[in-house]
Amino acid sequence: MFVDMPPGTGDVPLTIFQSVPVDGIVIVTTPQELVSLIVTKAVKMAKMMNIPVIALVENMSYIECPDCGKKIFPFGQSRAEEEAAKFGIPLAARIPIDPRAAKAFDNGLADNFYDGALKGCGDIIEKSFPAKNQ
């Protein structure tokens, strides 16, 4: 089961960690510098509660120019690799901003939209829980 929670270490994550058996978490970040503080707090809270941090995923990593394919970083250059390395966890995916996403989601096609960007994340999660994937 996946539970999507708000960022940080507030009441929602704390309540979930205390009341639901959690096998591990994937922390989702964005390229803004301030977010790295929130990621640090979340990793520390998970470690204090003996919950494995499986991977880091960067959302809104970049937008690709539809004309030339150049990557544009509207929130600044990514530091996700540094963040992941700092905590010894894999960077599982960098999810781009894609204007086509809203249309795909509205048409019920969300499952396949980020297939390529999220492939690494699925692989890491499956390897983290081999007995549960059979």
pTM: 0.82
49 three-class SS: coil
88: its two tokens: 């010894």
Q: What is the pLDDT of residue 115?
A: 58
Distance of CA 6 to the CA centre of its chain: 12
* Domain 11-128 top-level CATH class: alpha beta
pLDDT one digit per residue (tens) for the chain, 134 residues: 677 777 777 788 888 888 888 888 889 999 988 888 888 999 999 999 999 999 999 999 999 898 999 999 999 888 899 999 999 999 988 988 888 777 887 888 777 666 566 667 777 777 877 665 55
